[in-house]
A = this chain, B = another copy of it.
Amino acid sequence: MILNEFETAYQSYFPFWEELTAADRAFLCQQSSLVRFEKAQMVHDNSGCTGLFIVKSGRLRLYMLSEEGKEITLYRLLPGEICMLSASCVLESITFDVFVEAEVPSDCYMIAASAFGEISARVPAAKIYALETAVGRFSDVMWIMQQVVFMSMDQRLALFLLEDAGINDQMLITMTHEQIARHLGTAREVVSRMLKRFAGDGVVEVSRKGIRILDMKKLRNLAG
């Protein structure tokens, strides 16, 4: 029964699915599991090659972590998106470390890294898919890099609030200043100070409930 669910899901997610033999398709489904992550639970902590995840529902966050515990979010994965870097052992050319956690309760399809590695070593279309997925995320990381190097923290905070409002489709951002700071790779005090300024300018309203966007146009202007 659950095998059928994997088959149906993979058929729609993997462009190379029809190129696999029936045996290989069955093998990947057998090596799959449906995994539930609670809010803030680690999905991949770099201690090994966890596997390849497809977000069925919820949201994953991929981030870098410094030795001192500082973080920066590289990108977020929404339903239907695939987490390839947690199976980076499949791609020898990836030598960096990333961490993945569930931002909200999330259900994911997981394929064991060894199984996907075996198939992608044999089937060029699967390997090309894995590499293209990774290269696509390279573009996301370059966008963050551009923000970090070339933009002011004001601009980056404005962009982040816009992104979060877009993802959740609401004007209220229910995150603590500490959480926002971790996304942006900065200190909580910096975020609090900037939000105070944004509030003073009538762009947002900061309350116990969270940060409410009052003036979308002004916020977009701040984002540049």
Seen from chain A, the residues whose Cβ lies within 8 Å of a Cβ on chain B are 64, 66-68, 70, 72, 91-96, 124-125, 127-128, 131-136, 138-139, 141-146, 148-150, 185
User: Complex: how many Å from CA A76 to CA B138?
Assistant: 18
Interface of A is mostly: helix
Alpha-carbon gap, A68 to B141, bound state (A): 21
Contact A141 B139 (CB under 8 A): no
Cβ A95 vs Cβ B141 within 8 A = no
- CB distance B136 to A138 under 8 Å? no
Q: In the bound complex, how far is the Cα of B66 from the Cα of A94, in angstroms?
A: 27
Q: Give every chain B residue within 8 A of A138 (Cβ-Cβ).
A: 93-94, 96, 134-135, 138, 141
User: Among the listed B91, B127, B141, which residue makes an inter-chain contact with A141, where contact means beta carbons less than 8 Å apart?
Assistant: B141
For residue A64, which residues in chain B have a CB less than 8 angstroms away from its CB?
A: 142, 145-146, 149-150
Give which listed residue, B96, B125, B150, B185, contacts A149 with CB less than 8 A. B185
* Complex Cα gap A65–B71 (Å): 25
Q: Which residues of B have CB within 8 Å of A66?
A: 146, 149-150
- Would A144 and B146 count as touching, CB distance under 8 A? no
Other A-B pairs beyond A64-B142, A93-B138, A148-B148, 16, CB < 8 Å = A66-B149, A68-B150, A70-B149, A70-B150, A72-B145, A93-B135, A93-B136, A94-B138, A94-B139, A96-B139, A124-B127, A131-B134, A134-B135, A141-B145, A145-B145, A149-B185
Q: Which 6 A-B pairs have the closest CB atoms?
A: A124-B124, A131-B131, A66-B150, A96-B142, A93-B136, A93-B135
Q: Are A143 and B96 in contact (CB under 8 A)?
A: yes
- Say whether B150 contacts A93, CB under 8 Å: no
Nearest chain B CB to A182 CB, angstrom units: 12
Residues of B within 8 A of A92 (CB): 132
